[in-house]
């Protein structure tokens, strides 16, 4: 199986303003989530759109800082078949010379998770659900 594009993530500075903008475009986000650090919805084509503030990103990647406004703030996420697939795809990309931003690990939200960068420095997440519950 090849990894499947599953999530497009946008790093936002003002969650409420971003929600208002995307709702104006007809995207339905859950009501009352304006103060949340992470908000996600599934679009009609099955693709997920996630909005994240830098506070949620720092919760699992302490060295991470919000990119400047003129830098890439889009994140795409590829769903892998299983946790071992995350590890193998990450290793393959890093061995091919791509920058591994965050090594594969079992994240507190229940995914095997890793981050690589594309040649332009855009963040590409790799993930798969864990078979076991992870506490964090």
pLDDT tens column, 76-120: 889 999 999 999 999 999 999 989 989 999 998 899 999 988 766
Q: What is the DSSP letter of 70?
A: T
Query: Mean pLDDT across the stretch 67-73?
Result: 58
65 SS3 class: coil
Note down the domain range covering 41. 4-129
C-beta atoms surrounding 101 within 10 Å: 16
Residue 33 covered by a domain: yes
User: Is 134 part of any domain?
Assistant: no
What CATH number does the domain containing 43 carry?
A: 3.10.180.10
Confidence of residue 48 (pLDDT cuts 50, 70, 90): very high
Count how many domains the chain has: 1
Residues 20, 45, 25: CA angle, nearest 5 degrees: 20
**pTM exceeds 0.85 for this model:** no
- Is the pLDDT reported for residue 134 higher than 80? no
Structure tokens at 54: 């830098």
Task: Please report whether residue 46 resides in a domain.
Answer: yes
The confidence band for 122, taking pLDDT boundaries of 50, 70 and 90, is confident
The string over 28-54, giving b where at least 16 C-beta atoms fall within 10 Å of a residue's C-beta and e elsewhere, is ebeeebeebbbbebeeeeeeebbbbbb
Q: Is the dihedral of CA 70, 79, 110, 94 positive or negative?
A: negative
Q: Quick one: average pLDDT of 19-30?
A: 88
Percent of the chain exceeding pLDDT 90 equals: 51
The mean pLDDT of 12-27, rounded to a whole number, is 86
Average pLDDT, integer, range 36-59? 84
Q: Which two tokens stand for residue 91?
A: 């290793």
User: Would you say residue 135 lies in a domain?
Assistant: no
Q: Is 4 helix (H, G, I), strand (E, B) or coil?
A: strand
Q: Is residue 59 in some structural domain?
A: yes
């Amino acid at each position: 199986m090849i990894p499947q594009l599953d999530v497009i993530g946008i790093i936002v500075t003002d969650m409420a303003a971003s929600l208002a903008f995307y709702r104006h475009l007809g995207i339905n986000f859950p009501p009352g989530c304006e103060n949340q650090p992470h908000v996600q919805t599934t679009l009609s084509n099955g693709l997920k759109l996630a909005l994240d503030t830098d506070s949620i990103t720092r919760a699992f990647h302490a060295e991470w800082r919000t990119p400047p406004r003129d830098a890439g703030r889009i994140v795409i996420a590829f769903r892998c078949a299983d946790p071992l697939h995350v590890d193998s795809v990450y290793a393959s990309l890093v061995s091919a010379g791509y920058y591994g931003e965050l090594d594969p690990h079992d994240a507190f939200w229940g995914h095997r998770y890793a981050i690589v960068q594309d040649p332009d420095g855009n963040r590409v997440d790799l993930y798969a659900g864990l078979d076991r519950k992870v506490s964090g």
